[in-house]
A and B are shown apart, each in its own frame.
Chain A
Amino acid sequence: MARPLLEVTGLSKRFGGFVALDGIDLTVAEGERVGLIGPNGSGKSTLVNCICGTLANESGTVRFDGEAVDGLLTHERTRRGMARSFQLPRPFATLTVADNLRVPLLYTVNARPGVALSPAALDARCAELLQLVALADKAAQLPRDLTQVEMRKLELARAMAAEPKLLIADESMAGLSQSEVDDIVTLLIRLNERGITIVLIEHIMRAVMRFSQRLIVLVSGKKIADGRPEAVIRDPEVERAYLGQ
């Protein structure tokens, strides 16, 4: 296995008396495509929030790119190369589609040592990203003019604009039609081929199975399986807990 990019050890998070995450251990290797599944309320989004620093975990550590990132704020983690998309798209509503992408370029890419993109280079990068997600003709529009699938693409493009090493896509396909799901999976695989490690959180099994090289299953805040997708979904425990048998 390649060098680990993300290492989570013994991560726990509770909300009052409710244990949302209970001693999660997981590793994601550089260049890998990992699927993370689990029933509603199993702690997937909480795990993402803890990894990205939106929520503070009570115990355990998150190591990214060889360094512990506990205690770092979200934007510092983003600058180190961790990007995420949100389960419900959260575009910057008063900025145009192109400017939505300009923000991570300005604040993440340009904030990295030794990088100083010129205004022209910024424009070019925005255009290139919009091309990638097929939103080029919507560049000057506001996010409210986009359709649901375009909004999801914008969400992914904004995460991509930060030039991450790791992309965590949190249910980026919920509510989309089958062909739209295929669109997004193809896009994600293409991004992975460019060298970006991707963790995909998803309910749509068809997408997960097509995308994932490895599958992790979370149930009630515990990791119950981790391995090759075909093997994992045949695991009796996973079937019982996740598929409700």
Chain B
Amino acid sequence: MRTRVFLLISIAVAAVVFFGARTVNNDYVFFAGYTVLQFIVLATAWNILGGYTGYVNFGSAAFFALGAYATVFFHKFYPLPIPLLIVVGAVVSGIVGLGMGYLTLRLRGAFFAIATLALAVVLQTLVVNWDYVGGSRGAYIIRPNDIAVIGPYIQYLFLLMLALVVIALTIARGIERSQLGYGFATIRDDELAAEASGVPTLRLKLVATTLSGALMGMAGAPFPYYIGYLQPSSAFGLEYAVNSIAMPMIGGTTSWVGPLIGAVLLGSLQQIATVTISSAVNLLIVGLLLVAFVIIAPNGIIGLVQGWTRGRAK
């Protein structure tokens, strides 16, 4: 299937999701749905670096928060419409991703993961001490109640996030089927052999860190409008870092479908748990599921399904 066809189909699916949610006519559906969609983007973004090239990023929250704080900054400095803020978030987080890639190119495995975690801590410290964007007090963003054409503002945010999901999935799928996808896979498998086969591994790693960072920044940009009050501890929250790793791992990291399945499953589960049990039980669920999957199905749900179909074929 061509990328253009895929794009059209996913736009159609997104439209069905949006109008389906509208028929329910309950704002909560949009609030909960927004979070799930946001995690689809984050998980897909993480997977471009973590799944395709095999570099585990523990600092997803930092890229997400940078997008969010870019929005807070512009909200005070020169208000822009959210679609433009998403572009700004992508640029800021993309540049930081490029910088991170450049600084950590020689690091592999656990050392790369530790470096990304350290980056998140450094950025959080910077934001906490930056008074203009609220510092440790946090910043309020007053969300308008309505917007023209669409109606309730939350539906507008939901729609924007839906668009980001379409963009992220199209990019991820496009990479998988392109020369870039083969290059990323060789980095994951064996960097030395990749170089010997002519793959410019350093450059491709930079492409991956930049793309992954930019998508995370895009996911973060509308967040202050969604949450209304942004503080460093929520924007840099552990749940973003953990979820964006857990969701692709549970879904399966080798394909764009994996993060999608993982995020929908885990994201919905968390939303249900928040309402029915308590919001604190969220990370417990993620933790338990992650442990279970790492032990039972290291290749995620996709790996399980592939195993079954292959077993049947034999």
Identify the A interface with B (CB < 8 A).
52-54, 73-75, 78-79, 83-84, 86, 90-95, 99, 102-104, 106-108, 110-111, 158-159, 161-162
B146: interface (CB < 8 Å): no
Instruction: Give Cα distance in the complex from A74 to B179, angstroms.
Output: 19
Proximity string of chain B (181-212) to chain A, C-beta cutoff 8 Å, 1 when within and 0 when not: 01101101110111111111110000000000
Q: Which residues of A contact B93 (CB under 8 A)?
A: none
A104-B197 contact, Cβ under 8 Å, with A90-B192, A94-B254: yes
Please tell me if the beta carbons of A162 and B197 are within 8 angstroms of each other in the complex.
yes
Q: Are B200 and A106 in contact, with the CB atoms below 8 A?
A: no
CB pair A103–B186 under 8 Å, yes or no, is yes
Given the complex, which residues of B lie within 8 Å of A78, measured CB to CB? 195-198
Interface of B (DSSP majority class): helix
Q: How far is the CB of B300 from chain A (nearest CB, A)?
A: 14
User: Would B198 and A95 count as touching, CB distance under 8 A?
Assistant: no
Contact between B182 and A102 (Cβ–Cβ < 8 Å)?
yes
Q: Can you name 8 A-B residue pairings with CB atoms under 8 Å?
A: A73-B195, A73-B202, A74-B192, A92-B190, A95-B182, A102-B182, A103-B197, A103-B198
Question: Distance (Å) between the CB of A232 and the closest chain B CB?
Answer: 29
Q: Would you call B179 and A83 a contact (CB within 8 A)?
A: no
Closest to A53 in B: B195
Residue tally, chain B, CB below 8 Å to A: 20
Known contacts A74-B196, A75-B195, A84-B196; A92 and B201 CB within 8 A of each other: no
Contact B185 A94 (CB under 8 A): yes
Structural contact, A162 and B198, CB atoms closer than 8 A: yes
**19 further contact pairs, Cβ within 8 A, besides A54-B195, A91-B189, A93-B190:** A73-B200, A75-B194, A75-B196, A75-B197, A75-B198, A75-B200, A78-B196, A79-B198, A86-B193, A86-B196, A90-B190, A90-B193, A102-B182, A103-B183, A106-B179, A107-B179, A107-B182, A107-B183, A162-B197
Complex CA distance for A56 and B31, rounded to whole angstroms: 56
Could you tell me which B residues sit within 8 Å of A by CB distance? 179, 182-183, 185-186, 188-190, 192-202, 254
A111 near B198 with CB under 8 A, answer yes
Across-interface contacts of A107 in B (CB, < 8 A): 179, 182-183, 197-200
Determine the residue in chain B with the shortest Cβ distance to A95. B185
Q: Which residues of B contact A74 (CB under 8 A)?
A: 192, 195-196
Instruction: Across the A-B interface, give the 5 residue pairs with the lowest CB-CB distance, nearest first.
Output: A108-B198, A74-B195, A107-B198, A90-B193, A92-B189
Chain A residue with the shortest CB-CB distance to B54:
A94
Contact assessment for B188 and A106 in the assembled complex, using a CB-CB cutoff below 8 Å: no
| Contacting pair B185 A92 (CB below 8 A) | yes
Looking at the assembled complex, report how far the CB atom of A18 sits from the nearest CB atom of chain B, in whole angstroms.
21
Contact indicator B197/A99 (Cβ below 8 Å): no
**Bound form: Cα–Cα A106–B182 in Å:** 9
A115 to B190, CA, bound (A): 26
**Chain A residues near B202 (CB-CB < 8 A):** 73
Q: Which residues of A contact B185 (CB under 8 A)?
A: 92, 94-95
Task: Give the chain B neighbours of A52 by CB distance below 8 A.
Answer: 196
Closest chain B CB from A50 CB (angstroms): 14
Chain B residue at smallest Cβ distance from A74: B195
CA distance in complex: A162, B186 (Å)? 15
Partner of A75, one of B188, B199, B254: B199
Question: Which residues of chain B have C-beta atoms less than 8 A from A75's C-beta?
Answer: 194-201
Which B residues are in CB contact (< 8 Å) with A106? 179, 182-183
Task: Name the CB-closest residue of B to A99.
Answer: B182
Determine the distance from Cα of A103 to Cα of B193 in the docked complex, in whole angstroms: 10
Task: Identify which of B189, B190, B198 gathers the most chain A CB atoms within 10 Å of its CB.
Answer: B198
A91 and B193 within 8 A (CB): yes
Q: How many Å lie between the Cα of A92 and that of B52 in the bound state?
A: 13
A92 touches B198 (CB 8 A): no
